[in-house]
Structure 1
Amino acid sequence: MTDYERIEKAIFYISAHLHSQPRLDEIAAHLHLSPFHFQRMFCRWAGVTPKRFLQVLTLERAKQLLRESKSLLEVSNSLGLSSGSRLYDHFVQLEAVTPGEYKKEGVGLSIGYGVHNTPFGPAFIAITPRGICKFSFLQGEAMGAHLADLCKKWPYAVVHEEQQATLEVLDGMFGVAKKPNKPISLHVAGTNFQVSVWKALLQIPPAAVVSYSQIAKAVGRPSAARAVGTAIGSNPVAFLIPCHRVIQQGGKLGGYYWGEARKHAIHAWESARYEGFAPEEAAQAEHSLF
């Protein structure tokens, strides 16, 4: 069992017992680990203690984040939808294919793909010379389904395995390698409405959240929250186009195509890096049991 699989199991347990605020030894016992080893593993992975993670999961925190984000996406003209935004200390730029390129279905296009481990489990990534065209988490299945989906979307492209190049791109995504000297680019295909939603998602800062209705207002379709949800669900590049930062209006996390536990995990991981509390807690992790 990988560290992420253990973390996922712990997240399911914590989420299911949130009302009783489970103690460290209870969670560790569920994973058949000692409290000391579980705490070290959790802090090494998330950068925060399990206790802080419990606080990240609370409904009241989510509601507060929603209140704070009201001004983020109120007016579509203020979003700068044609530009990228900062994400994980990099710049992410989204470039949509033109209608003409879409009709060609990949003629003359070379796509490299690979499967690599990430902080949230193994993932499939595909790149073109212009950027990342697909990124999806594997959920127990082989990569075949993801490769088939890629070939279906780009039937006339030359698709080939490219482990080294995709690994370098992935390292840039998760901050493993040195900061890239150029923006991380996304090369995606979608309708005008889908692309406008995906660009709006790129405006949400790390560790922040917005509601579906806020995104709908941002793209000039205030009554289209359901259509926005569909566009978010069809996002071809998980994590970098941060659909995990969209939650329900009442503060509940809501669904996530890649699993609710993974959505919790990404929120905790981002919070550890962008809310300023991780270093102190991580340093004390070996000596502090709750």
Structure 2
Amino acid sequence: MTTASTYTYQQIARAIEHLTANFREQPSLSELAEKANLSEFHFQRLFTEWAGVSPKKFSQYLTLEHAKNQLRKGAPLSDAAHEAGLSGTGRLHDLFVTIEGVTPGQFKQAGSGLVLAYGVFDSPFGKYVLGEINGKIALLHFLNDGDEPESILANAWPEVTLRQDAEALHELVNQIFPTTANATMSHPLPVLLRGSAFQLKVWEALLKIPEGRLASYDQIAEAIGQPTASRAVGTAIGSNPIGYLIPCHRVIKKTGLFGGYRWGVERKQAMLGWEAARVDG
């Protein structure tokens, strides 16, 4: 990914923000192009290249009715194979995630002397910082203006030594956001998650939501065997440290409203529309 792709996302995000806030009025192409500071022609072309569908089609994926239909279909969380959770046609390759979970206490005992390698990269959804410990992804955090990657990493993993080494992470980056149509997975993507037993159960359940589908907080609570814990599920989802790969963006309110997102509502909406377009495609 290049810096140009991040700038493209920023332009698209402004249009998506306006589109989502006013989807009932179905904003015109000229309105959306103005929000992106582009001519109608260039906006239509840029948006279609980024999303794979026209702005009009994309807007259909962001309507309340579409979200409700997705929830009514129900993501097969109870019987979906863990390995199939992130297999996505839209990514043009099979993407698998395997979780290694530890409690904070367990990690504290074993964390002395560990090094976290990190780098800042571009994606279809803006810049993000990626952190890796012993070959395992320990953090994927999308960045907003003013964010300091080192502070984010230090807060998430205070026991480890930070080492900036973007070059060492390129193989992982190319598997998360492939830049070529024939990109393939050589092996599962391992992630290192530090959390309580409850948090780990929630994050594992998120992996079972198929790409292009949605689930509610209540459905996640049911899937982990605690149907009355939807509020606690929401808290666990909000603390997910690995964006996109652990797909907390696929969880919305049972009313069909998208709800909040740790890395910004417009980014969540961009991800959901982007995935829906690829699955339908």
What TM-score, normalized to structure 1?
0.87
Which residue is equivalent to 1:190?
Answer: 195
Offset, 1:102: 1.7
Aligned positions, number: 269
Offset, 1:170: 1.8
C-alpha root-mean-square deviation of aligned residues, in Å? 1.9
The answer to which of 131-140 and 91-100 deviates more is: 91-100
Cα displacement string for residues 111-138 of structure 1 (whole angstroms, at most 9, x for unaligned residues): 1000011111110110112411001111
Which residue is equivalent to 1:270?
Answer: 275
Runs of 5+ in structure 2 lacking a partner?
A: 1-5, 89-93
Cα displacement string for residues 132-170 of structure 1 (whole angstroms, at most 9, x for unaligned residues): 100111111232xx4224224433322201111223312
Q: Which of 1 and 2 has greater Rg?
A: 1
1:206 and 2:211 correspond = yes
- The CA distance in 2 between the partners of 1:32 and 1:211, in whole Å, is 35
- The CA distance in 2 between the partners of 1:30 and 1:153, in whole Å, is 35
1:32 and 2:34 correspond = no
Which residue is equivalent to 1:11?
Answer: 16
2:56 counterpart SS class: helix
Structure 1 residues 136-285: aligned runs within 5 Å: 136-143=141-148, 146-176=149-179, 178-276=183-281
Which residue is equivalent to 1:279?
Answer: none
1:86 counterpart SS class: coil
Contact in 2 for aligned 1:120/1:266 (Cα 8 Å): yes
Which residue is equivalent to 2:3?
Answer: none
Offset, 1:85: 3.1
- The CA distance in 2 between the partners of 1:151 and 1:223, in whole Å, is 34
Contact in 2 for aligned 1:105/1:154 (Cα 8 Å): no
Offset, 1:49: 0.6
Contact in 2 for aligned 1:130/1:187 (Cα 8 Å): no
Call closer, same or farther: CA 1:85–1:13 in 2, change over 3 Å: closer
- The CA distance in 1 between the partners of 2:74 and 2:178, in whole Å, is 25
Runs of 5+ in structure 1 lacking a partner?
A: 277-290
1:86 and 2:83 correspond = no
The answer to which of 155-164 and 230-239 deviates more is: 155-164
Call closer, same or farther: CA 1:23–1:182 in 2, change over 3 Å: same
Offset, 1:192: 0.4
1:121 counterpart SS class: coil
Identity in percent: 43
1:223 counterpart SS class: coil
Corresponding letter in the other structure for 1:263: K
- The CA distance in 2 between the partners of 1:199 and 1:147, in whole Å, is 27
Q: What stretches of structure 1 move > 4 A for 4+ residues in a row? A: none
1:133 counterpart SS class: strand
Offset, 1:268: 1.2
Contact in 2 for aligned 1:112/1:161 (Cα 8 Å): yes
Structure 1 residues 90-169: aligned runs within 5 Å: 90-97=95-102, 101-104=106-109, 106-143=111-148, 146-169=149-172
Call closer, same or farther: CA 1:203–1:16 in 2, change over 3 Å: same
Corresponding letter in the other structure for 1:168: E
Which residue is equivalent to 2:60?
Answer: 55
Call closer, same or farther: CA 1:18–1:241 in 2, change over 3 Å: same
Call closer, same or farther: CA 1:152–1:12 in 2, change over 3 Å: closer
- The CA distance in 2 between the partners of 1:86 and 1:149, in whole Å, is 26
Contact in 2 for aligned 1:79/1:200 (Cα 8 Å): no
Call closer, same or farther: CA 1:84–1:191 in 2, change over 3 Å: farther
- The CA distance in 2 between the partners of 1:184 and 1:205, in whole Å, is 17
Call closer, same or farther: CA 1:226–1:90 in 2, change over 3 Å: same
2:10 counterpart SS class: helix
